[in-house]
Structure 1
Amino acid sequence: MVFARKAHLVRLHRALPGPKRSWHSALVANLGRDFARLWCAYAISTAGSTVGAGALGLVAVLVLDAPAWQVSLITAISAAASAVLAFPLGPRVEFARKRPAMIAGDLVRCAALASVPLAAALHVLTMPQLYAVDIVVATAAVVFSAASGAHLKALVGPHERAVALSRFESTDWICWSAGPPLGGVLISGLGATATMLIDAFSFLLSALGIRRLRTPEPPPVVAKGPSRRGFTDGWRYLLRSPELRPLFFNSVLFSGAVLWVTPLQTVLMLRDLGFAPWEYGLVLGVPCLGGLLGARLAPTLSSRYDAQKVLLWTSFARAPWLLALPFAIPGAGGVALLIAANFGLLLVAGIFNPTYSAYRLSLIDDTVLTRTLTAWSTGTRTAKPIFVTLGGIAAGVLSVRFSLGIGAVLCLLSAAALPARRAA
C-alpha cells in the first residue's frame, strides 16, 4: 500500500544527510507495512463477525428455545446498556494510548464470545448469559471503534484517509457478501455455536495483528482540570458543531431508515411475495457488489471534488431507492426490482461512507476525538433498536408495504439533514 505520505517521506529521506537516512527509511517502511497489518487485522475480525452475524439470536432460538420477545431483548438491552457503560469509558480512552485499548477491546470480545459455546458444551448456558455477552461485546465494540478512529487519524495522513477508509469499506462489502451464507452452512453442519468460536478466534487474531504494529504511536492528548472527567464533552462538541451536528443526524436517520425496512423486506420477500430461498439470496447478495463498487470509486471522487459536495450529492442520491420496495411484485420482476433498488442504494452508500468517515475525522479536534466518536457510536447504536421496533409496530398496525413506505420517507428526510448551502 503506497500513500502520498509515504512518497513525501521518501523525498524527505533523500534530502537528508547520511546518519538520518536509516531512521526515515525505517519510518517510511513501517508506515506502509503497518497499514497493511492494520487492514489485515480489520479484515480478519470483520470476516469473523460476518460469519457469526446473528449467532446470539440463533443460539437463543435453537439451543435455549427462547420465545421471540426474549430474542428481541438481546438487541434492545445490549444497545441501551452498552451506551451507558461506554459513556464513562470515553475519557479514559481519550487520555490513554489507543493501541492497548484496541487490543483490550478485541480480547474482551474474544473471551465473551468464546464463553457461549463453552457454556453450551457444559449445558449451563442461560439467557442472562447471552444478554451479558451481547452487552460486553457491544460495549467493547464502541470502545474499539472510538480508539481505532483516533489511531487511524494519527497513523494515516489527511490526504490518504479516504483511500484507507475505502479499503476498509471494500472489505466490509466483501465480507458481508460471503460471511452470512458461509455462517449458515457452518451452523447447519456444526451446530448453532460454531460460528461464535470463529468470531471469537478472529478477534484474537485481530489483537495479535494490532500488537505487531511498529510505527510509534504518538502520545495521547493531555487534559487539564475537570475536562479529564468530562464524560459529556464529546456530546457537547458534537451537538454544538455546525458541521458535525447535521452529519450526525443524517447518519442516525439514514441508518435508522435502513434498519426500519431490513427485517420488513425479509418478511415481504419470503411471506408476501413467496420468493424461493435462492431468489431471496440473490436479493441479499448481488447488491453488495454495488457497495464494493462505490467503495472503490470513493477515493477518486473525494480527490476530484470537495468532500462536502460529495457528501451532499451522495446523501441525496442514496435517499430515493427505498421508495421502490413497497411496489415489488411476485416473480422475476419483483426480484429484479429489489436487486436494482438495493444495488443503487448500496452503490451510493459505498461512496458516502468512507468519504463521511474521513471528513468526520478532519472536523473533530484531537483533544476530544475519542469522546466525540464514542458519543457518535453510542447515539447511533441506541437509535437502531428504536427504529427496528417502530418499523415492526407500524407493519403490525398497518401493513408491511405501508411500513416500508414510512421507512422510505425517513430515508428522504435524512438527506434534508445536510443543508445544500454547506456544499458551497
Structure 2
Amino acid sequence: MSPWSARAARRPAGDQRAETGLLRERGFRLYWTAQTVSLIGDEINFLAVPLAAVVLLDAGAAEMGWLTAVALLPSLLLSIPGGAWADRQPSRRRAMIVADAGRCAALASVPLAYACGALTMTHLYLAEFVVGALTVLFRVCQHHVYVSVVAADRYVDANALLSASRSAAAVAGPSTGGILVQALSAPFALLTDALSYLVSAVCLGRIRKQEAPPAPRGGGGLTAGLRWVTAHRTPGLLLAGVCMLSLCHTFLMTLFVLYGTTELGLAPSAIGAVVAAIGLGGLAGAFVAPRAVRRIGIGPTIMTGFLWFSLPLILVPLADGPTPLVITALAAAQLGAGSGIAVLDIAANSYLIAAIPETLRSRVMGVVQTANFGVRPIGAVLAGSLGTTLGLRATLWIGTTSAVLSVLWVIASRVQRVRNVPENAEPAQAP
C-alpha cells in the first residue's frame, strides 16, 4: 500500500459542515466567483469555435482534429515547465491575472478578424493555441491560490462548490452559446467568453490572502514533480488512469459537434441543449460526491467516478433513429457522464491537493495537467485521422469503449483502499 494510503486511512471522518458556509469567506468567495464566471465563457467557447470552423470555414474531420489539438498542445508541452516556474514565483495570483487578460485579447481577435473579412482556420488555430498556453499558466498557479483561501479540512467541500459551478456553467453555457451563435454568429458569441476572463481577473485582483512562499532554488527542477508521482504507487497509477480516460474522452469531444451536425442532422441549438445536460448531471454529482466521500471513503468514490463517467458515453455511438430518440440518447449520455465527471473531479482533486508536498505543488500539478490535458491533442489528432479513415461512429466506439477500460489502472493503483483525505503531505526531498 502507498504511504499516502496508510496515512490517509488513519484520518477520522470528514467535516460535516455545509459546503455553502465557505461562500461567507471573502477569499474563497472571490476565487469561486472568478472560476464560475470564466467557466460560463469557456462553455460558450466550446461550441462557438468549432461551429465557426464548421459553418463559416467548412472544416472537416481532420481540421476539427487539428483545431482541438492546437488548443490542447500547450498542456502537453508547457504543463511541467510551467509548474516548475510557478513553484518559484512569489505571487501566482498575479500570473493568473495576466493569463486572464491574455486570453481575453486572444478571443476578442476572432470577431475582429471576422468583421474585417479576414477570419481563417490559421487564425482560429493561433487563437486557440494562445488561449491554451495561457490556460496552462492559469492552472499550474491556481492551486497555490486555492490552498491559501481554503482550509485543509474543507478541500472536499470547496471542490464540490467549484464542481457545482462548473456544472452550472455547463448547463447555461452551451444552450446560451447555441442561441448566441444563431443570433450573432459564432465569432461574436466569443465576445462573451472574452469578457468573462476580464471579470475573473478583477475578482482575483481583490483577493488578499497570503500564498505559500516560493520553493527554494535547486529543489529538483523540472523533473521533481514527475519523480514524486512515480515514487508513489497510488497517485502514479491513478494518474495513468486519468491519462487514458482523458485520451479516450477526447475522441468524443473532438468529433461531437461534427457528428451531431453532419451525421445526426442536429441544429446548433439542439446540440447546445444536449451538451447542457452534462451540467445538470454535474450538479447532481457535486451534491453526491462529498456525501459519498464521507460514507464510502475517498478511494471508492474515485473508482465510482471513473465508471460513472465512462459507461454512459457508450450511448453516443449508439444514437440513431428519429431525432427525438437521438436527442434523448445523447442527453442521457451527457447527463450520466456529467455526474461522473463531478464525482471523479471532486474526489481525485481533493486527494491529490492534500497529498502533494507544498514546495512541489505546481510541479506535481504540472504532471497532473499533462496526464489530464496534455494527452488530449494526441487524442484529437488521432480522432480526426480515424474519423476520416473509419468514419465518425466507428471512431466514437473505439474511444468510448476504451474509456471504460481505464478503470483497470485505478484498480491497480489500490486507491480503493484509501478511506480519507491525507492529512499532511510528506516534505519534499531535494535530490
Same fold per superposition (TM over 0.5) = yes
Residue 209 of structure 1, CA deviation: 0.4
Query: 2:88 corresponds to which residue?
Result: 95
124 and 146 in structure 1: CA distance in 2 versus 1, 3 angstrom threshold: same
Distance (Å, rounded) in 1 between the aligned partners of 2:186 and 2:270:
24
Distance (Å, rounded) in 2 between the aligned partners of 1:313 and 1:64:
41
CA contact (8 A) 2:174 2:276 kept: no
Residue 114 of structure 1, CA deviation: 2.4
Greater mean alpha carbon deviation, residues 403-412 or residues 196-205: 403-412
Query: 1:310 corresponds to which residue?
Result: 301
393 and 148 in structure 1: CA distance in 2 versus 1, 3 angstrom threshold: same
Query: 2:238 corresponds to which residue?
Result: 247
Residue 145 of structure 1, CA deviation: 0.9
Aligned-residue sequence identity (percent) comes to: 29
Greater mean alpha carbon deviation, residues 297-306 or residues 41-50: 297-306
Query: 1:199 corresponds to which residue?
Result: 193
393 and 70 in structure 1: CA distance in 2 versus 1, 3 angstrom threshold: closer
Residue 243 of structure 1, CA deviation: 1.9
Q: Which of residues 31, 37, 40 is equivalent to 2:33?
A: 40
Distance (Å, rounded) in 2 between the aligned partners of 1:75 and 1:235:
26
CA contact (8 A) 2:308 2:339 kept: no
CA contact (8 A) 2:281 2:338 kept: yes
Q: Deviations 1:263-302 (Å, cap 9, x if unpaired)?
A: 5555665555556777655543334312210111111222
TM-score when scaled to structure 1? 0.82
State the secondary structure of the residue aligned to 2:222.
coil
Paired residues for 1:282-297 under 5 Å: 283-297=274-288
238 and 396 in structure 1: CA distance in 2 versus 1, 3 angstrom threshold: same
Q: Is residue 2:125 matched to residue 1:136?
A: no
Distance (Å, rounded) in 1 between the aligned partners of 2:23 and 2:275:
39
Residue 384 of structure 1, CA deviation: 1.2
Q: Which of residues 400, 407, 415 is equivalent to 2:399?
A: 407
Distance (Å, rounded) in 1 between the aligned partners of 2:128 and 2:151:
35
Q: Which of residues 99, 103, 112 is equivalent to 2:106?
A: 112
Residue 70 of structure 1, CA deviation: 4.9
Distance (Å, rounded) in 2 between the aligned partners of 1:185 and 1:328:
24
Residue 220 of structure 1, CA deviation: 1.9
123 and 383 in structure 1: CA distance in 2 versus 1, 3 angstrom threshold: same
Q: Which of residues 179, 189, 196 is equivalent to 2:183?
A: 189
Q: Deviations 1:3-24 (Å, cap 9, x if unpaired)?
A: 96999xxxxxxxxxxxxxxxxx
Query: 2:216 corresponds to which residue?
Result: 223
Amino acid at match of 1:243: T
Query: 1:257 corresponds to which residue?
Result: 248
State the secondary structure of the residue aligned to 1:350.
helix
Q: Deviations 1:236-278 (Å, cap 9, x if unpaired)?
A: 2223321221221221222222221345555665555556777
133 and 222 in structure 1: CA distance in 2 versus 1, 3 angstrom threshold: same
CA contact (8 A) 2:22 2:29 kept: no
Distance (Å, rounded) in 1 between the aligned partners of 2:265 and 2:53:
27
Query: 2:312 corresponds to which residue?
Result: 321
Q: Deviations 1:114-149 (Å, cap 9, x if unpaired)?
A: 233334445555554433322221111111111112
Larger radius of gyration: 1
State the secondary structure of the residue aligned to 1:221.
coil
CA contact (8 A) 1:83 1:139 kept: no
Query: 1:156 corresponds to which residue?
Result: 150
Residue ranges of structure 2 left out of the alignment (5+ in a row):
1-13, 418-431
Q: Which of residues 363, 366, 391 is equivalent to 2:355?
A: 363
Residue 414 of structure 1, CA deviation: 0.9
Distance (Å, rounded) in 2 between the aligned partners of 1:406 and 1:66:
23
State the secondary structure of the residue aligned to 1:159.
helix
Distance (Å, rounded) in 1 between the aligned partners of 2:260 and 2:113:
36
CA contact (8 A) 1:6 1:32 kept: no
Distance (Å, rounded) in 1 between the aligned partners of 2:292 and 2:353:
18
Bigger RCO (CA 8 Å, 6+ sep): 2
Q: Is residue 2:204 matched to residue 1:210?
A: yes
Distance (Å, rounded) in 2 between the aligned partners of 1:29 and 1:255:
30
305 and 81 in structure 1: CA distance in 2 versus 1, 3 angstrom threshold: closer
250 and 390 in structure 1: CA distance in 2 versus 1, 3 angstrom threshold: same
Query: 1:372 corresponds to which residue?
Result: 364
Q: Deviations 1:67-104 (Å, cap 9, x if unpaired)?
A: 76555433323433453345433222111122112111
Residue ranges of structure 1 left out of the alignment (5+ in a row):
8-27
CA contact (8 A) 1:289 1:343 kept: yes
TM-score when scaled to structure 2? 0.81
